[in-house]
Amino acid sequence: MSRPVADLVARVEEAVREVSSSLLEPRAGVLAADEVRAKSPGEIVTVADLEAEAELGSRLAALWPGTPVVGEEACARAPCLLGALSSERAWLLDPLDGTTNFVAGRGEWAVMVALLERGLPVASWIWLATRRRMYVAERGQGASRDGLSLRRPPPGRSAAELCGRVLTGFVDPPAAAELAANGRRFARVGPGSRCAGADYPAVAEGDEDFVFYWRTLAWDHAPGALLVEEAGGAVRRLDGARYLPGDAAEGLLVAADETSWEVAREALLGPRSTPAGPSASRGRPGEPPSGAVPARPPLPAAPTGEDQGAA
Ligand SMILES: [Mg+2]
């Protein structure tokens, strides 16, 4: 991130806290029935999501006039807005991640913002309001929690020593059953928290060693991916390719470091073949190939409609 932009970090943090305080926190667990509606099969949206996106979006736009703001709820109405992610710069906004938890009064919900430059996240903010924790990451500058540097502790070296979360809500049933069976190779595997803004910090903090996702909507993953990478972790597609929020691929493995990424990947999905093939070079121009092709095709997606818990 260019240095003039770094001056905005504190102002984004302030905007996120204020919108959370005024429009979200007072409504957690107390929304009326007519303030919640279905957005798509298995997904809901509330007046809190919509009002927080409008307010935070306008504040981000004012911070840097001319920079497009790509918000989750606006994209639900007009998916073409995602095209702005490849702009010179763009804000990516999830005003309320974990809406189902929020409505139910559970604590795992977050406000998430990422700043992208030509499609690559360069800064991100995750505010876990109920825990009063603010995670910030700047590419090349590291990750922090509440202003203190955050470095992922070393994980175990074998699958039997690793703990993680496997989200199979959008994976077809046979593949989900295979993942569940393979999950027994680890020390512990659980489902996601239904909030990517809680799952990614769990890896960065050392509470979990890996998380497997199938569906990877940009606003769910861009902020946390940068956080984990800047804390020393690894976030890659299942074929080892670099994760880019606008790439429309499926399948993502988040891990504590490169070694645990490989261990978790093999334990969950089997060995990867070598050498690297064409699908392994989706990184940005000038960067080295990021991995090998999968030993077999990636897991097929289920039709749609089941909440895998990352929304
Ligand atoms: Mg959301």
Identify the H or E element spanning 14. Answer: helix 9-19
Longest dimension (CA), the chain: 56
CA of 275 to the centre of ligand 1 (A): 39
Rounded to an integer, what distance in angstroms lies between the CA atom of residue 91 and that of residue 86? 11
CA of 48 to the centre of ligand 1 (A): 10
Is 179 a residue whose pLDDT tops 90? yes
The SS3 of residue 255 is strand
**pLDDT value of residue 170:** 87
Rounded to an integer, what distance in angstroms lies between the CA atom of residue 221 and that of residue 217? 7
Is 284 a residue whose pLDDT tops 80? no
**pLDDT value of residue 299:** 41
CA of 82 to the centre of ligand 1 (A): 15
Whole-prediction pTM: 0.87
CA of 96 to the centre of ligand 1 (A): 4
CA of 259 to the centre of ligand 1 (A): 32
How close are the terminal C-alpha atoms of the chain, in Å? 27
Contact 209, 164 (CB under 8 A): yes
Average pLDDT score over the chain: 88
Quick one: what percent of the chain has pLDDT higher than 70? 86
In 3-state terms the chain splits into helix, strand, coil percentages (rounded to 5) of: 40, 25, 40
Contact 200, 254 (CB under 8 A): yes
CA of 16 to the centre of ligand 1 (A): 14
Beta bridge partners of 235: 254
Domains of the chain and CATH, by start = 3-150 (3.30.540.10), 159-280 (3.40.190.80)
Contact 60, 40 (CB under 8 A): no
Per-residue pLDDT tens digits for 238-268: 999 999 998 889 999 999 999 999 999 999 9
Neighbours of 195 (CB within 10 A): 28
Contact 76, 91 (CB under 8 A): no
**pLDDT value of residue 303:** 33
> For residue 82, what are the contacts with CB-CB under 8 A and spacing of at least 6?
70, 75, 218, 246
Q: What is the mean pLDDT of residues 114-132?
A: 97
Residue 40 pLDDT class (50, 70, 90 cuts)? confident
